[in-house]
Structure 1
C-alpha cells in the first residue's frame, strides 16, 4: 500500500515538472515566429504582451496561466 501511494506521489511530481518545462519551449516557438509574422501592429503588440505575461506567470509558478497566455499568442501567430 505504501509503495502505491509513494508511486502515485512520484508520478504526480514528474508530470508537474514536465508541465512546468513546457512553458520555455512555447516561449521559444513564439520568439522564433515573431520576426517573420505578418500581423497588424495592434495584434503584434498583443502577442508581445501575452509573451511577457506568460513569462511572468511562469516565473511566479503559475504554469497553467502561463501556458494559457502563451497558447493564445501562438494561436494569433498561427503556430
Structure 2
C-alpha cells in the first residue's frame, strides 16, 4: 500500500519537476543570446524585464507564468 502511494505521488509530481527545470534552461538561453542581440534599446529593456520577471516567477513557484514571460523574451530575441 505504501509503495502504491509513493508511486502515485512520484507520478503526480514528476510533471511539475520537469516543468520547473525548464525555466533555468530558458533563462540560460536568454542570457547567452543577450550579448549578441541586435535589438532597439526599448526592446532590449523589455527582454531584460521579461527575463527578470521570469526568474522571479520561477523562484516564487509560478512556473507557468515564468515560462510565459521567458518564452516572450526568447521570441523577441529570435531564439
TM-score, with normalisation over the residues of structure 1? 0.90
Q: Secondary structure at the match of 2:67?
A: helix
Do residues 36 (structure 1) and 36 (structure 2) align?
Answer: yes
Q: Deviations over 1:29-76 (max 9, x none)?
A: 000000000000000000000000000000000000000000000000
How many residue pairs are counted as aligned between the two chains? 79
Q: Deviations over 1:4-43 (max 9, x none)?
A: 6654432121111010011000000000000000000000
Task: Give 5+ residue unaligned stretches, structure 2.
Answer: none
1:65 maps to which residue?
65
Q: Matched residues in 2 for 1:34 and 1:4: separation?
A: 46
CA RMSD of aligned residues (A): 1.6
Q: Matched residues in 2 for 1:25 and 1:18: separation?
A: 11
Task: Give 5+ residue unaligned stretches, structure 1.
Answer: none
Do residues 78 (structure 1) and 78 (structure 2) align?
Answer: yes
TM-score, with normalisation over the residues of structure 2? 0.90
Moved over 6 A (4+): 1-5
1:13 maps to which residue?
13
